[in-house]
C-alpha cells in the first residue's frame, strides 16, 4: 500500500470515530479487496460512506458477482442490481462508556438493524464491539434517581424493542464478541441469531450482584438460550461464564482464538466495498465469521427469512402446535419458486439460481 493510501485510510479512520451528529465521509482510495484486471472498464466514482451516531458506526459492504454494478449516488437512495448482495456491519464504538447501551446507542442500533431490512439484496448483519469490551450493558449514569421513572421506562422499553427487532429481522444477525459482554451486553449476545466469541471472552450479569440492579430483562433472553440452572447461577451470583462454559451452556455458537476476533477497522472504516463473493477478503482476520457469512449468503434469502421467523415462533408453542405449524411452513416452503429451484438443482446436480423472493412456483 502506498504512503498516500495509508494516509487516506488513517484520516478516514480518525474522522469516522468522531462522536456527535451524523456525518458523511467519502474519499477516492480503492482497497486491495477491489480486484481489477487490465481489461476491466474504469471504475465509477468511489462509493464510500460511513456514518456514526452516538457510538454506532455503520459500514455497508457490497459483494459483487459482476463488477462495478453500483450507481454512484447516496447510500440511502441507490437501487442495487440483483447481482449484488449486502452485508451490514455495525460496530459499537464508545470507549469511554465501554460500549454501554445508552438510550441513544440503542435507538441507533434499532435504526440500523431495521434500515432497509426488506431489501432483497441484504443477506446478514454482523455486530461488533470495538475495543476490549463488547458491551458493558446499560449506561448506569442514565438510571439515576434524578432522571425519573418515565425516563427509566423509556430506556428499558427501547432495549426490548432492540432485542425484538433482532428476532424479527428477516436476515440472520451475528454477534462477534471479544472481551466482556455484561448485563444488557450479554442480553444482546443471547438475542443474536449466531454468536462468535473469542476464547478469552467473559459473559456475565455482574450488575445484579455488584450494583444493586437485578438483570430481569437480560434474564429473559439468556433464560431462553441456556438451561434454567445456568441462567439462575449467572443471575444470582454475577459470576462470569468463560468462553468454554458459554459454549457448553449453549449461550454462543462458536469459540475462536481471541486473535482471530475483530474486524480490521484500519482498512475497512469509511469504505463500501465492491468485492467478489468470497467474504474472507472482507473479514481477513475473521475466518469463522467469513465462513458463516459465506454459508448464509449462498442460500435463498426468502427461505432463510421464512425459516428464521418460524424457528422463533415455534419456540413459544407447545410441541403439538409447533409440529402442526411446522407442517404448514414446510408445505409453503416447497411451494415457493426458490423451494422448487432448490429441488431441481439437487436433482440436476447444479448450483441453484435463487430469485430470493416469495413468488409461488408455477
- pLDDT of 72 above 80: no
Q: How many other CB atoms are found less than 10 A from the CB of residue 140? A: 15
Whether residue 124 is found in the same domain as residue 244:
yes
Residue 195 has which C-alpha cell? 454468536
Q: Could you tell me if residue 148 is inside a domain?
A: yes
Contact in structure between 68 and 151 (CB atoms under 8 Å): no
Q: How far is Cα 353 from Cα 362, in angstroms, rounded to an integer?
A: 16
pLDDT, residue 115, reads: 83
Q: Is residue 257 part of a domain?
A: yes
Question: What's the first-to-final CA gap in the chain, in angstroms?
Answer: 52
For residues 218 and 312, state if they share a domain. no
Kindly compute the dihedral angle of the four CA atoms of residues 18, 24, 27, 32, in this order, to the nearest 10 degrees: 80
Average the pLDDT over 202-222 and give the result. 84
pLDDT at 272: 31
Give pLDDT, residue 71: 28
288 assigned to some structural domain: yes
Query: Which of 279, 298, 317 finishes a domain?
Result: 298
DSSP code for 46: P
Q: What is the pLDDT of residue 311?
A: 94
Q: What DSSP letter does each residue of 140-161 carry, written as one string?
A: GGGSSGGGHHHHHHHHHHHHHH
CATH number (domain holding residue 87): 3.90.226.10
pTM, whole model, 2 decimals? 0.74
CATH of the domain at 334: 1.10.12.10
Count of structural domains within the chain: 2
Q: What is the pLDDT of residue 278?
A: 39
Indicate if 97 and 245 belong to the same structural domain: yes
pLDDT interval class at 86 (50, 70, 90): confident
Between 40 and 251, residue with greater pLDDT: 251
Give strand pairing partners of 199.
none
Determine, yes or no, domain membership for 338: yes
The C-alpha cell at 48 is: 464510500
pLDDT of 155 strictly over 60:
yes
Does 221 share its domain with 322?
no
Domain co-membership, 266 together with 312: no
Q: Which residue, 277, 298, 319, sits at the end of a domain?
A: 298
Q: Which helix (H) or strand (E) holds 195?
A: strand 194-198
Residues 271 and 335 in one domain: no
Assess whether 329 and 276 both reside in one domain.
no
Residues 115 and 150 in one domain: yes
What's the confidence (pLDDT) of residue 303? 94
Asked if the structure places residue 42 within a domain, the reply is no
156 vs 73, higher pLDDT: 156
**Each residue's pLDDT tens digit, 179-198:** 999 999 999 999 999 999 99
313 and 182 in a single domain? The answer is: no
Examine the pLDDT at 286 and tell me if it is beyond 90: no
Q: Which domain holds residue 337?
A: 301-348
Name the 3-class secondary structure at 49. Answer: coil
Choose the weakest-confidence range: 100-104, 146-150, 204-208, 213-217: 204-208
pLDDT digits (tens, 9 = 90+) for 23-61: 333 333 333 332 223 344 454 433 333 445 556 666 555
Same domain, 145 and 229: yes
Q: Tell me what the mean pLDDT of segment 328-356 comes to.
A: 93
8 A C-beta contact, residue 19 and residue 57: no
Q: How far apart are CA 169 and CA 125, in angstroms?
A: 9
Kindly state whether residue 75 falls inside one of the protein's structural domains: no
Distance CA 26, CA 47 (A): 8
Residue found by looking up cell 447516496 in the block: 74
**Would the pLDDT of 176 be above 90?**
yes
Among 120, 78, 124, 39, residue whose Cα is nearest residue 70: 78
State which H helix or E strand residue 128 sits in. strand 122-129
**Looking at the structure, do residues 307 and 293 belong to the same domain, yes or no?**
no
Claim to verify: residue 339 and residue 256 sit in the same structural domain: no
Question: Is 126 inside any structural domain?
Answer: yes
Q: What is the pLDDT of residue 62?
A: 53
Contact partners, residue 91, CB within 8 Å, separation at least 6: 56, 57, 58, 59, 127, 128, 129, 130, 263, 265
For residue 362, the model assigns a pLDDT of: 84
pLDDT at 15 over 50: no
Is 270 in contact with 12 (CB distance < 8 Å)? yes
Determine the distance from the C-alpha atom of residue 167 to the mean position of all C-alpha atoms in its chain, rounded to a whole number.
12
Q: Which of 298, 316, 336 is the last residue of a domain?
A: 298
Instruction: Determine the average pLDDT of the residues in 287-314.
Output: 90
Does 226 or 211 have the greater pLDDT score? Answer: 226
Amino acid at each position: 500500500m502506498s504512503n498516500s493510501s495509508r494516509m487516506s485510510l488513517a484520516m478516514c479512520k480518525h474522522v469516522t470515530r468522531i462522536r456527535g451528529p451524523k456525518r458523511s465521509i467519502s474519499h477516492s482510495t480503492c482497497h486491495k479487496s477491489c480486484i481489477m484486471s487490465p481489461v476491466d472498464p474504469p471504475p465509477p466514482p468511489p462509493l464510500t460512506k460511513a456514518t456514526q451516531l452516538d457510538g454506532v458506526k455503520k459500514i455497508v459492504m457490497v459483494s459483487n458477482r459482476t463488477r462495478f454494478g453500483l450507481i454512484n449516488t447516496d447510500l440511502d437512495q441507490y437501487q442495487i442490481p440483483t447481482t449484488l448482495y449486502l452485508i451490514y456491519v455495525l460496530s459499537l464504538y464508545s470507549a469511554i462508556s465501554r460500549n454501554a447501551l445508552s438510550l441513544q446507542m440503542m435507538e441507533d442500533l434499532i435504526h440500523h438493524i431495521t434500515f432497509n431490512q426488506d431489501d432483497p439484496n441484504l443477506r446478514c448483519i454482523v455486530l461488533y464491539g470495538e475495543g476490549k469490551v463488547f458491551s458493558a450493558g446499560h449506561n448506569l449514569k442514565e438510571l439515576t434517581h434524578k432522571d425519573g421513572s418515565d425516563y427509566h421506562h423509556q430506556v428499558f422499553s427501547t432495549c426490548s424493542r432492540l432485542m425484538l427487532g433482532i428476532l424479527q429481522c428477516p436476515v440472520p444477525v451475528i454477534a462477534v464478541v471479544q472481551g466482556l459482554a455484561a448485563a444488557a451486553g450479554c442480553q444482546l449476545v443471547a438475542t443474536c441469531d449466531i454468536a462468535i466469541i473469542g476464547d478469552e471472552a467473559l459473559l456475565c450479569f455482574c450488575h445484579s450482584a455488584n450494583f444493586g440492579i437485578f438483570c430481569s430483562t437480560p434474564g429473559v433472553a439468556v433464560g431462553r438460550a441456556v438451561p434454567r440452572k445456568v441462567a439462575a447461577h449467572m443471575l444470582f451470583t454475577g459470576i462470569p461464564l468463560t468462553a468454554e462454559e458459554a459454549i457448553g451452556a449453549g449461550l454462543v455458537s462458536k469459540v475462536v482464538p481471541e486473535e482471530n476476533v475483530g474486524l480490521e477497522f484500519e482498512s475497512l472504516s469509511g469504505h463500501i466495498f465492491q468485492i467478489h463473493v468470497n467474504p474472507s477478503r472482507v473479514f481477513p482476520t475473521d475466518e469463522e465469521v467469513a465462513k458463516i457469512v459465506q454459508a448464509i449468503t449462498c442460500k435463498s434469502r426468502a427461505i432463510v427469512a421464512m425459516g428464521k421467523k418460524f424457528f422463533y415462533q415455534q419456540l413459544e408453542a407447545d410441541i403439538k402446535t409447533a409440529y402442526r405449524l411446522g407442517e404448514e411452513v414446510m408445505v409453503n416452503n416447497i411451494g415457493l419458486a426458490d423451494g422448487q429451484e432448490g429441488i431441481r438443482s439437487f436433482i440436476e446436480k447444479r448450483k441453484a439460481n435463487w430469485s430470493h423472493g416469495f413468488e409461488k412456483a408455477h
